[in-house]
Amino acid sequence: MRKSTLSLMALGLALTLGSSPLGQIFKGMSLVTEAEAVVGRPLTPVSAAGVARRTTRRVIRRTTIFVASLPPKCTVIVIEGTTLHQCGGAYYQPSGTQYVVVHVD
């Protein structure tokens, strides 16, 4: 057999023994003894920092539609440092004396 095949077989045996009752006998042979991920670290899937980072990233895409004035009952919001006017489900960004319709993804 080749060296690489023997190495893979040895690795498989070590991993298998690490999770079986015989693994207690060969405890030093196990490659993984405990989980390395710690909940609460920024790169773990359920951490608060990771969830906040994924949910607050938004993309603002400008369109070529301009309006002279805003519809009634608009609120001013700030997304990613950009001031927008939200009027119902539409978003508008000031552009000179007019407003451009934008899409927020």
DSSP letters for 55-88: HH---EEEEEEEESSPPSS-EEEEETTEEEEEET
Q: Quick one: 62 and 46 in the same domain?
A: no
How do residues 21-80 score in pLDDT, each as one tens digit?
A: 555 555 555 555 565 555 555 555 555 555 555 555 678 888 899 999 999 889 999 988
How do residues 29-45 score in pLDDT, each as one tens digit?
A: 555 556 555 555 555 55
Q: Quick one: 7 and 46 in the same domain?
A: yes
Q: Quick one: 38 and 13 in the same domain?
A: yes
The pTM (predicted TM-score) of the whole model is 0.47
Q: Quick one: 8 and 43 in the same domain?
A: yes
**Residue 17 neighbours by CB under 8 Å, 6+ apart:** 23, 26, 29, 30
Q: Quick one: 63 and 27 in the same domain?
A: no
d(CA 32, CA 99): 58
Q: Work out the angle at residue 52's Cα, subtended by the Cα atoms of residues 49 and 57, and round it to the nearest 5 degrees.
A: 130
Its domain, for residue 62, covers 58-104
DSSP state of 41: B
Q: Quick one: 22 and 46 in the same domain?
A: yes
Domain tally for the chain? Answer: 2
